[in-house]
């Protein structure tokens, strides 16, 4: 299984007193995902998780953040779990979401 941190850029820490910087993960910012007429709306069931839904709809567990940011009023970025019976939007314009992500994170 792929790490959900795969899209988090790694940067070097600041150099202090002649010491080389060391790799750290930079904070990731997530874009607002605009609604689209092709978006899918579904109610969650027992066992649904953002990473599993990303695998089901996008074929990639690392795209869990697209579903999370597409539902800011009902989902949080600090958990992969979704309450049962929650209506969520599955954004379908993945290329736009990735592009917006890359722009605000300068990838």
> pLDDT value at position 77?
73
pTM score, whole prediction: 0.75
Q: Is the pLDDT of residue 15 over 70?
A: no
Whether 72 and 39 have beta carbons less than 8 Å apart is answered as: no
Q: What are phi and psi of 40, to 5 degrees?
A: -105, 140
pLDDT bucket at 4, cuts 50 / 70 / 90 = low
Strand partners, 11: 24
Whether 33 and 54 have beta carbons less than 8 Å apart is answered as: no
> pLDDT value at position 62?
93
pLDDT bucket at 9, cuts 50 / 70 / 90 = low
The residue-averaged pLDDT of 22-46 equals 87
Pairing of strands 87-90, 40-43: antiparallel
pLDDT bucket at 14, cuts 50 / 70 / 90 = low
Both tokens assigned to 22: 């060391």
Between residues 20 and 69, which one has the greater pLDDT?
Answer: 69
The residue-averaged pLDDT of 64-91 equals 91
> pLDDT value at position 107?
60
């Amino acid at each position: 299984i792929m790490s959900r941190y795969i899209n988090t850029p790694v940067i070097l820490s600041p150099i202090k007193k002649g010491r080389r910087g060391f790799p750290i993960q930079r904070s990731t910012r997530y874009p607002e995902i605009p609604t689209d007429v092709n978006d899918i709306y579904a109610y969650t069931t027992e066992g649904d998780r953002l990473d599993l839904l990303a695998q089901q709809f996008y074929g990639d567990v690392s795209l869990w953040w697209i579903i999370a940011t597409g539902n800011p009023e009902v989902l949080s970025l600090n958990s992969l779990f979704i309450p049962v019976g929650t209506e969520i939007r599955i954004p379908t314009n993945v290329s736009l979401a990735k592009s917006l992500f890359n722009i605000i994170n300068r990838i």
